[in-house]
Amino acid sequence: MAEHVDTLQGLLLEQEGRAVAIDLTEVLFADREAVKLLAVAENNGTELRKCPPYIREWVTRERADTNAGRSEQGIGGTEDIEDV
């Protein structure tokens, strides 16, 4: 799956605003970049179907980490920037 992250990301961008589902039946291995993409996609409304349990757990953790990072940075997930 790792070598297809860019392709999947492009396809998801093309479908922005539409209902999207990704069937993960045949996925046996994933790397962190792929899981991060799946977590962001799910956060944006993409349905992950037939997700293997270990990938489901990993996606859930990535989403929690991402959401925790946003709350630490402030509303909207952006950092305050000061002129130096």
**H helical segments located in the chain:** 5-14, 32-43, 53-73
Provide the number of structural domains found in the chain. Answer: 1
Please report which confidence band the pLDDT of residue 67 belongs to, taking 50, 70 and 90 as the band edges: confident
Q: Is residue 28 part of a domain?
A: yes
Q: Which long-range contacts (CB under 8 A, 24 or more apart) does 30-34 make?
A: 30/1, 30/2, 30/55, 30/58, 31/1, 31/2, 33/2, 33/5, 34/1, 34/2, 34/4, 34/5, 34/8
Amino acid at 71: S
Of residues 32 and 71, the one with the higher pLDDT is: 32
Residues pairing with 48 in the sheet: 22
Q: Is residue 35 part of a domain?
A: yes
Parent domain of 62: 2-9+18-72
Q: Is residue 77 part of a domain?
A: no
Q: Can you tell me the mean pLDDT for 25-37?
A: 94
